[in-house]
Amino acid sequence: MSFLDYFRSQGKRSASVAKERLQIVVARERANRGGPDYLPELQSEILKVIRRYVEVDQDAVQIQLDREGDCEVLELNITLPERH
């Protein structure tokens, strides 16, 4: 092993981190893909309703459609801001 391999192994991590992150995000986006066209709109309306009561970020509402056998599950995740 040459001394350059030390630096290489550092770099190696950056490409493999990229690959892992991509695999996760692509899998999630594919899962939503077959879903109904109204999902994005549903998401933005829910966001509007939440904002009537609490000030939250644009990405506070996460929506995901999962399939379990014949059953479709709509998973809704709402992140509220930390309390001061």
Partner 1 sequence: MAKIVVVTSGKGGVGKTTTSAAIGAGLAKAGHRTVLVDFDVGLRNLDLIMGCERRVVYDFINVIHEEASLNQALIRDKRVDNLFILAASQTRDKDALTEDGVERVLTELSRDFDYIICDSPAGIERGALLAMYFADEAIIVTNPEVSSVRDSDRVLGILASKTRRAANGEPPVREQLLLTRYSPLRVQKGEMLSVEDVKEILAIDLLGVIPESQAVLNASNAGVPVILEEESDAGQAYQDAVARFLGEERPHRFLQLEKKGLFGRLFGG
Point out which residues pair with 67 in neighbouring strands: 72
Asked if residue 79 binds partner 1 (CB under 8 A), the reply is no
- Within residues 21-60, the interface with partner 1 by CB under 8 A covers 21-23, 25-26, 29-30, 33
* Closer to partner 1 by Cβ: residue 1 or 49: 1
- Which one, 32 or 60, has the nearer CB to partner 1? 32
Cβ atoms of 48 and 59 within 8 Å: the answer is no
Which two tokens mark 11?
């770099």
Residue 69 backbone class (left: φ over 0; alpha: ψ -120 to 50; beta: rest): left
> What's the closest the beta carbon of residue 43 comes to partner 1, in angstroms?
17
Q: Which two tokens stand for residue 74?
A: 């709509």
Query: How many chain residues bind partner 1 (CB under 8 A)?
Result: 25
End-to-end CA gap in the chain: 54
Q: State the residues that interact with partner 1 by CB under 8 A.
A: 1-5, 7-16, 18-19, 21-23, 25-26, 29-30, 33
